[in-house]
Amino acid sequence: MRPTILRRLFRCVVSTAALGVLLATPVTATAARPATTAADTLHQVTGFGTNPGNLQMYAYTPAHVPAGAPLVVALHGCTQSANAYYANSGWPKFADTWGFDVVFPQTTSANNALSCFSWFDPAEDTRGRGEAASIVQMVEYAQRTYGSDGRRVYVTGLSAGGGMTANLLAAYPDVFAGGSVASGLPAQCATSQAAASGCQTGPPKLTPAQWGDKVRASYPGYAGPWPRVAIWQGTSDYTVYPANATALRDQWTDVWGIGQTPDGTSTLPGNTTRTVYNDASGNPAVETYSLAGMGHGLAVNPGTGTEQCGSTAAYFLNTICSTYHTGVFWGLDRGAPGGGDGLPAPSGLRVTGVTAGSASLSWSPVAGAASYVVHRDGAKVASPTGTSFTDSGLAAGASYRYTVAAVDSAGAVGATAPAVTATTTGGSTVRCFTASNYAQVTAGRAHTSGGYVYANGSGQNMGLYNVFVTHTLRESPAGYFVIADSGCQAGSSEKSP
């Protein structure tokens, strides 16, 4: 028995009472990519490496995906399996549609009594050790066997898998170009079993710089580039509390050196608010997705629509297809399969003007382009032949994300330009409210959980629920509040509830 097993048997991200056991029987097959089927099935891969973390590797490798395609690593939650994540998360749909391979690592009760990835154990979640090293060996196997593009490797996970995702991004920023943490924990929140439960209900009260230091210490001397990170969190999650999403936001915006002031917010289906934090070049580096009223789980939206995916099951909750929006954030949707291998991305994409109902874009011409394709929030909205476009019929005071790609005379779509965000004018007036935490809750701008106060909408942790702690909250759009203690630009300002 591995030395760490006895220490970990009775500790997990959630209690046995909070979770039911998901039974699964994964399909077993050879590691080689089939040459004759239109789409593969989930199959087990053995012999992928020395496997110091005692994990199992499963893969979904669509037959039509060429070498040089992206790779996604998807980590299940406690009591789940690779098969459960494959069946319910929606990743196979977009692997088929956009053209990439998916690796589903699996842990077992031999490692942890509830089959949780060990996000709280430095012997398992740090660079070159344990489960983290096993997962990277799976990535290396995919690069050797499937020809996966080492520049486009991404990792995502739910709950304990989300906590391991954050640790992998911190320990291996040279391996993963992006990550998505769903109902998970910030990197290195806990370094012992005793600290794990405390992180779930209320992570340590650290500054963004202190959270960022945990990432920087995970791979000393690394100077970038850093992974782009999406953070998904339900506001009614009482297993992994929303304060963890705030800590994750603080952690990764600090690593990027971009601060915690949003560059835009927008409303998505499923009572979802997306908040964008851009890098120095104006490209989204960190995005948070706050799902009002959602509990603990991965957001899915069953159906056949372009933006729909997955199926409902324990901890797969019908709200919005988080997999679709995560894939768009990473750029996996660019002219699949094998997108981006033809014409280069247009340079100079910028917002040239906005009104209350429109946004205008322009970009530099691409040699050989017969037309261009413009996407708004991942959905195609136009195919102009010129190098400018005005999108109309938009909502006032809302943020929209645009990408553009060139199309050649044969209809092949080239690489996608980095996204830009346009925010229309008008809409709700920005308002600021300075009051005690008690008064903010009484006025309906914040809520309490576990003795702490959280801003409605953003879910930011405001500290203890009492009259002695005071914060300024900025409201925009209506009903969405962020902490603005350092200054609040507003049409009006109030000093009381």
Report, as residue numbers or ranges, the catalytic residues: 159
Per the listing, tokens 């890098």 go with: 279
Contact partners, residue 154, CB within 8 Å, separation at least 6: 70, 71, 72, 73, 176, 177, 178, 179, 180, 330, 332
Question: Taking a C-beta distance cutoff of 8 angstroms, is the pair 193, 11 a contact?
Answer: yes
Instruction: Return the SS3 of 364.
Output: coil
Question: Taking a C-beta distance cutoff of 8 angstroms, is the pair 76, 183 a contact?
Answer: no
Q: What is the Cα–Cα distance from 233 to 165, expressed in whole angstroms?
A: 15
Q: What is the Cα–Cα distance from 393 to 413, expressed in whole angstroms?
A: 26
Which alpha helices (H) appear in 108-182, and where do they start and end?
122-125, 130-145, 160-171
The count of other CB atoms within 10 Å of the CB of residue 47 is 8
Edge to edge, what strands does the sheet with 461-464 contain?
446-449, 452-455, 461-464
Which alpha helices (H) appear in 418-461, and where do they start and end?
437-442
Please report, to the nearest 10 degrees, the dihedral formed by the alpha carbons of residues 375, 379, 384, 390 taken in order.
-70
φ/ψ (deg, to 5) at 472: -100, 130
